[in-house]
Amino acid sequence: MSPESPTPEAPEILPPDDAAFARAAALLRAGELVAFPTETVYGLGADATSDAAVAGIFAAKDRPQFNPLIVHFTSAEAAEAEVVFDDRARAVAAALWPGPLTLVLPRRPESRLSLLCSAGLDTQAVRVPAHPLAQRLLAECGLPLAAPSANASGRISPTEAAHVAASLGARVPLILDGGPCAVGLESTVLDLSGPEATILRPGAVTTQDLTPIAGEVRETLDAAESLELKAPGMLTSHYAPGHPVRLDATDVVGDEALLAFGPEVPAGAVETLNLSPSGDLTEAAAHLFAYLHRLDSADVRDIAVMPIPDSGLGSAINDRLRRAAAPRSQDQD
């Protein structure tokens, strides 16, 4: 749902009875958003396997950038279908899941998760929440759920249903009310994708909890800073094309492929994919990573990208496109 679309004034806030779970699961399976309690904070959940549903999260939060999202599972076994666990990751999961701990692990090439969840990184953050209502929702909808904290971008994370309603309003159709969150602070984010175990975001699971299981654990910067540092890395992996990208293209030159937007598309491209023929930014965001990937995977040629309006989700799309068009030298890892 885009923030621009007409919506009712307020979301539905339901006590967690059978009818509420049935409705929440149906909404999620239909690609809609549902806010739900976890032991840390309320999450804004969407079907993690659907590009359009995940794009809806960014639209509802009004995120200026596509930050990578945590995907929630009922069990470590379910997570293992999407990311690669080594022995160390298995030991940490066995000891501390379910619980307020997120693991950053290499994404499997065959993962069903939307590329928007990893925002172009080749890692994916995964978590098995302990909250019984989160567990029940995951089980009833039968989907992995991408869920950032259920607040508008730049606001404090919500620990009560009323906080979610105040921050997101009717951008989220349904909030499952589970009362206040026990931890009240976002999960610890532990990066186990490389040789050094690194805490990207401190939380209720501490270095002292982790060291006996994971060995030496490095504590860094907060997650925002570490993502800044990783920004060049975000140009690699899944969506940064290997070929030159020309932005704000209103025509096609030579052998270019065209990433189009809107109803009026210049002719002459060797291949054209339109992010949204109707000019819808949420639809465009949903297609962005997958289309860049497709245009880049065929024969060698340059990619021209039509101008995208810089409002709403458009600024997140443009942020990623600028990164994709940036010089190649810094983005080797």
69 makes contact with ligand TXA (CB under 6 A): yes
159 makes contact with Mg ion (CB under 5 A): no
Chain position carrying tokens 């930014």: 281
51 makes contact with ligand TXA (CB under 6 A): no
DSSP state for residue 142 in the 8-state scheme: T
148 makes contact with ligand TXA (CB under 6 A): yes
DSSP state for residue 107 in the 8-state scheme: B
Region from 62-70, 82-90, 252-260, 317-325 binding ligand TXA, contact rule CB under 6 A: 62-70
Instruction: Please give the Cα distance from 278 to 33 (Å, whole number).
Output: 23
CB 316, min distance to Mg ion, A: 15
> Contact with ligand TXA (CB under 6 A): which of 96, 103, 116, 200?
200
223 makes contact with ligand TXA (CB under 6 A): yes
106 makes contact with ligand TXA (CB under 6 A): no
What residue 227 binds from Mg ion, ligand TXA, none (CB within 5 to 8 A, per partner kind)? ligand TXA
Instruction: Please give the Cα distance from 39 to 170 (Å, whole number).
Output: 24
149 makes contact with Mg ion (CB under 5 A): yes
Buried b / exposed e along 310-323 (16+ C-beta atoms within 10 A) = eebbbbbbbebbeb
Please name the amino acid found at residue 50.
S
Decide whether 40 or 50 has the Cβ nearer to Mg ion: 40
CB 332, min distance to ligand TXA, A: 18
Instruction: Please give the Cα distance from 124 to 118 (Å, whole number).
Output: 5
For ligand TXA, the binding residues in 268-307 under the rule CB under 6 A are none
Contact partners, residue 134, CB within 8 Å, separation at least 6: 36, 37, 38, 39, 43, 72
For ligand TXA, the binding residues in 160-199 under the rule CB under 6 A are 186-187, 189
Q: If DSSP codes are grouped into helix, strand and coil, which group holds residue 76?
A: helix
Decide whether 123 or 149 has the Cβ nearer to Mg ion: 149
| Beta strand spans in the chain (E) | 12-14, 34-37, 42-47, 70-72, 101-106, 123-127, 145-146, 174-176, 188-191, 197-201, 217-219, 245-246, 257-260, 272-274, 303-305
> Contact with ligand TXA (CB under 6 A): which of 50, 111, 123, 237?
123
Residue ranges in contact with Mg ion by CB under 5 A: 149
Residue ranges in contact with ligand TXA by CB under 6 A: 38, 40-41, 43, 67-70, 102, 104, 118, 121, 123-125, 127, 147-149, 186-187, 189, 200-201, 223, 227
